[in-house]
Structure 1
Amino acid sequence: MIKIDILSLFSNIGLEGVFFGSLISNAIPYSAMPYLALVAAYSATSPNEKLIVAITGGVGATLGKLLLYGITRVAGKGLKNRKQNMQYLNLLLGAKPSFITIFLFAALPLPDDVVYIPLGLAGFSFLKFLIPLLIGKIFLVGLVAFLGSRARFLIESSIHSGLLPIAILAMIIFTIELILVVFFVNWMNVFQVYNEEGFKVALKVFLKETYLVVTLNHPDLKKWFNERRISKKL
């Protein structure tokens, strides 16, 4: 009963609450679901403002993700020894499918941080990130707003289920693995193979590199760990 009363209270916060709730929720990794419950609760009691809610919540959610993107991008610049490798990843990400990927993770209730955090660390283009992100977030918030009470029921069920903490922990672990892949896969090698031998061969090289990273057997990753140990001893 208490949880339901709290969500009912969200319906009285107004458009400002929708905006700031969307912004804050999206700026914190793996906490996007509560803002969708907020949007659904408010829209269910304000049926004539659904379009405004879609734009307000979508812009707020976008700004939240941009804040997270900016923080991870600055963090990525701190790893200067991986900068050249990241440049080749950016060349691979410059293809059209990256727009579709960013849009889909923004427009669907997917764990988008597992994609957006590595993109920020890799220094992915701001404009190429912003446009599909904004379109996708407005679409998602609009969909939840138009579904209203039905969306609220589904979201509340997800929030209150005992599986949610497990799902969040799994996403965090997956993100850590993905960050390691972003930094330690030899993107220069993948890029060169892609140009010389095509997508299929490059995919095989990428999968092999990824396997070495996630099993902590990649030479560059081992070298990085050894350097950290030596620096601590000194």
Structure 2
Amino acid sequence: MEINIIKTIVEWFSIIGDPAIVYSYGYLGVFISSLAGSFLLFTPMPFFFIVYVAGIVLDPTLVAITSTFGATIAKVTIFKTAGLGKRFIGQKTQNRLRPFERLSYKYGWFAAFLAALSPIPDDLVYVPLGLIGYNIWRFIAATFTGKLIFTLMITWGAKLSFPWINLLIGAAPNKTYATMLAALIIITGVLILYLIVKLDWERILEKWYPWTIENVDEENK
């Protein structure tokens, strides 16, 4: 059932990536597709083709800004939802997560920024940060900045390179491959989240980051 859902999503995004459809819906369509596409957990930018095509038929800068707002709203929602899950975690598990939490307070902004700046499934970073209660304003700043830069590269890259890669626009994607890849990414994401919760981070980080296990009061300002 899950495979069929993923396959349907892949086909749906292929259809709405048509230039005529993108142009007719304009910036509102870019915002909605970026918002909806970013709610798909552990999936690397499923609305890529829409943003790419929009960068060609619309203003690249406005497309990037509009898409970034939609994507950031979705990621903040996922971040906050993950944070609600902390109340369902036992005290023993929270203690194991404490060193990871301190490490994230120091490097979390960079991790969130890097995830937003790349096409990797950023929820692999955002969900754990939400789970440990990372500062939301730092998260928003890092996510918005990273996604804006990355999306600008997509839209302006599309605008400038379109004359040379026009033939690639009509190429049909290998849907079987895309479906298998999406399923693999989701499974990997769930596994990573499970390991983050279950691993004894005090023992793991003691060797490389001893300061994370010191009994100090590190507040998330």
TM tier, smaller: 0.7 to 0.9
Alpha-carbon distance in structure 2 between the residues aligned to 1:75 and 1:122: 9
Larger RCO (CA within 8 A; separation ≥ 6): 2
1:31 deviates by 4.4
1:133 deviates by 0.8
Say yes or no: does 1:170 pair with 2:184. Answer: yes
Instruction: Map 1:25-174; keep pairs closer than 5 Å.
Output: 25-46=37-58, 49-81=59-91, 82-96=93-107, 98-148=108-158, 150=162, 160-174=174-188
Say yes or no: does 1:182 pair with 2:200. Answer: no
Q: Indicate how the Cα distance of structure 1 residues 33 and 189 shifts in structure 2: closer, same or farther if over 3 A, else same.
A: closer
The SS at the match of 1:29 is coil
The SS at the match of 1:124 is coil
User: Equivalent of 2:31, from 13, 19, 37?
Assistant: 19
1:123 deviates by 2.4
The SS at the match of 2:106 is coil
Q: Indicate how the Cα distance of structure 1 residues 95 and 157 shifts in structure 2: closer, same or farther if over 3 A, else same.
A: farther
Alpha-carbon distance in structure 1 between the residues aligned to 2:114 and 2:25: 29
Which one has the largest radius of gyration?
Answer: 1
Alpha-carbon distance in structure 1 between the residues aligned to 2:57 and 2:110: 33
1:55 deviates by 1.2
Alpha-carbon distance in structure 2 between the residues aligned to 1:113 and 1:157: 29
Is contact 1:11–1:38 with CA below 8 Å preserved after alignment? Answer: no
Deviations 1:110-153 (A, max 9, x none): 12222222222232232332221111111122111112264897
- Please, what is the CA RMSD of the aligned residues? 3.0
TM-score by length of 1: 0.71
Alpha-carbon distance in structure 2 between the residues aligned to 1:53 and 1:158: 24
Alpha-carbon distance in structure 2 between the residues aligned to 1:140 and 1:114: 18
Q: Indicate how the Cα distance of structure 1 residues 168 and 157 shifts in structure 2: closer, same or farther if over 3 A, else same.
A: farther
Instruction: Report what 1:215 is aligned to.
Output: none
Aligned positions, number: 195
Is contact 2:79–2:126 with CA below 8 Å preserved after alignment? Answer: yes
Q: Indicate how the Cα distance of structure 1 residues 71 and 129 shifts in structure 2: closer, same or farther if over 3 A, else same.
A: same
Q: Indicate how the Cα distance of structure 1 residues 24 and 155 shifts in structure 2: closer, same or farther if over 3 A, else same.
A: farther
Is contact 1:114–1:178 with CA below 8 Å preserved after alignment? Answer: yes
Unaligned runs of 5+ in 1: 203-234
Alpha-carbon distance in structure 2 between the residues aligned to 1:60 and 1:32: 15
Identity %: 21
Unaligned runs of 5+ in 2: 1-11, 214-221
Name whichever of 16-25 and 150-159 sits farther off: 150-159
Q: Indicate how the Cα distance of structure 1 residues 195 and 103 shifts in structure 2: closer, same or farther if over 3 A, else same.
A: closer
Name whichever of 175-184 and 114-123 sits farther off: 114-123
